[in-house]
Amino acid sequence: MSHPSATICVIGNTHRREFRPILEVLQRIRNKHRVTAFPAINAALADPLFKDVPPDLCIVLQSTPREYHPQDVNELIGRTLFSRVICCFGPWCESDGRNHSIWPDAFRVPVRLSASVISRELDALLRDEDTLPVTSSRDEVFAHRLGRIQEWQPLSSLKHLNGAVISADRVFRMTLSTALKDLGLKSLKLPLITERRTVTPRETTRGPIHLVIHDLDPWGQTVERSLHASRTMFPEAVFWGIATMPDAGLEVEIIDEELSAVIPRLDFQHGLRWHVSQMLSNSSIQQAMPTADGR
């Protein structure tokens, strides 16, 4: 069966700010796929869209733990057994699965990782790959979302760029720097930049720093001052933050920091690699890349 395009059903409150990354992904693909939004599960199931063949992909937006009734969820699952369903849940739903379980593990994705997972599921759909069974265990879900081996190859465009990792955690600095190296990006490893040192613009022997990833945990004055100082040190760089739970109130605290992205600390595949790939498709980053002769 061929899928040149897909039918996508979005269920939930699309006006909430926390779901903006998901809506941005859907906005980019509207020209290729048919996207229809519904405020609730029962409204979606009553629509002619579900009459004959269910949508290829259902995306459910969940803000609070008991936002959806189990009966509605079960009916949706029954109607989409051979389709793909992704429940994108916000930070208030992190404990679901421990306190109570409405959605299968195969469907649940935290909002902070959802843009990457949705894009990957669409690619898998267009390649005619099998869906993840609704009864899949957490280990099977983890293995499925790791992706294919080809998705872990270095990104050739990164070899012309330079990065910097700034964190108070020495082990994490090394871990993140190694992950970036595996992607193809060489990076400096620096502790937090304190007020005790004079901050001046800095370059590497390979040229200016293009990407700075600054650890935001734990957010406070020390991290904030280091972030400001690092902008002086690397004036030409794009700045990202990295945090354990970037969608759990932190985004309010850092709203004035002008970070291009805040990536989740605990998932390099759907956090780090996804954002790096998106960065490389950005025209302003492409213009910052040096040419093959280093200019």
CB-CB neighbours of 53 under 10 Å: 10
- Among the candidates 121, 147, 173, a domain finishes at 147
Q: Give the CATH number of the domain where residue 46 resides.
A: 3.40.50
The first and second tokens of residue 43, run together, are 């409204």
Q: Are residues 107 and 87 in contact, defined by beta-carbon separation less than 8 angstroms?
A: yes
Q: What are the C-alpha distances in Å from 39 to residues 5, 11, 50, 58, 62? A: 24, 6, 15, 13, 11
Amino acid code (one letter) for 89: F
User: With contact defined as beta carbons under 8 Å apart, do 17 and 110 qualify?
Assistant: no
With respect to residue 295, please indicate whether it lies within any of the assigned structural domains: no
Q: Domain residues for 113?
A: 7-147
Same domain for 124 and 11: yes
Residues 113 and 26 reside in one and the same domain: yes
3-state secondary structure of 58: strand
Is 293 within a domain? no
Whether 114 and 204 map to the same domain: the answer is: no
pLDDT at 201: 75
pLDDT computed for residue 1 by the predictor: 43
Q: How far apart are CA 245 and CA 248, in angstroms?
A: 6
Per-residue model confidence (pLDDT) at position 180: 92
**Could you give the maximum distance between any two Cα atoms of the chain, in Å?**
68
What is the number of structural domains in the chain?
2
DSSP character string of 129-167:
PPPPPTT--HHHHHHHHH--GGGGS--GGGGG-EEEEE-
Write the pLDDT tens digit of every residue in 179-198: 999 999 999 999 999 866 66
Looking at residue 167, its pLDDT comes to: 96
Domain CATH number, residue 162: 3.40.50.2300
Residue 93 to residue 178: CA distance in whole angstroms: 32
Specify whether 182 is located in the same domain as 279.
yes
Whether 274 maps to a domain, the answer reads yes
The verdict on residue 259 lying in a domain is yes
Q: How far apart are CA 266 and CA 29, in angstroms?
A: 27
129 and 212 both lie in a single domain: no
Q: Are residues 159 and 277 in the same domain?
A: yes
Q: Rounded distance, CA 96 to CA 107, Å?
A: 12
Same domain membership, residue 41 and residue 138: yes
Residues 202 and 86 in one domain: no
- On whether both 258 and 168 belong to a single domain, the answer is yes
Q: Which segments in the chain show pLDDT lower than 50?
A: 1-3, 290-295
Shared domain for 12 and 139, answered yes or no, is yes
Residues 6+ apart with CB under 8 A from 129: none
Report CA-CA distances (Å) from 84 to 10, 54, 71: 12, 10, 19
pLDDT of res. 255: 83
210 within domain boundaries: yes
- C-alpha 160/C-alpha 193 separation (Å) is 26
Q: Report the pLDDT value the prediction gives residue 294, as an integer from 0 to 100.
A: 47
238 belongs to a structural domain: yes
d(CA 172, CA 165): 9
Helix residue spans in 147-240 (DSSP H): 170-183, 221-233
Whether residue 234 sits in one domain with residue 161 = yes
Q: Is residue 193 domain-shared with residue 218, that is, in the same domain?
A: yes
Q: Can you tell me the distance from the alpha carbon of 50 to that of 44, in angstroms, rounded to the nearest whole number?
A: 7
CA angle 287, 289, 290 (to 5 degrees): 120
User: Which of 97, 127, 147 is the C-terminal boundary of a domain?
Assistant: 147
Among 113, 129, 147, the domain boundary falls at 147
Residue 121 inside a domain? The answer is yes
Indicate whether 294 belongs to any domain. no
* Nearest partner of 142 among 90, 110, 106, judged by Cα: 106
Question: If phi over 0 gives left and psi between -120 and 50 gives alpha, with beta otherwise, what is residue 3?
Answer: beta
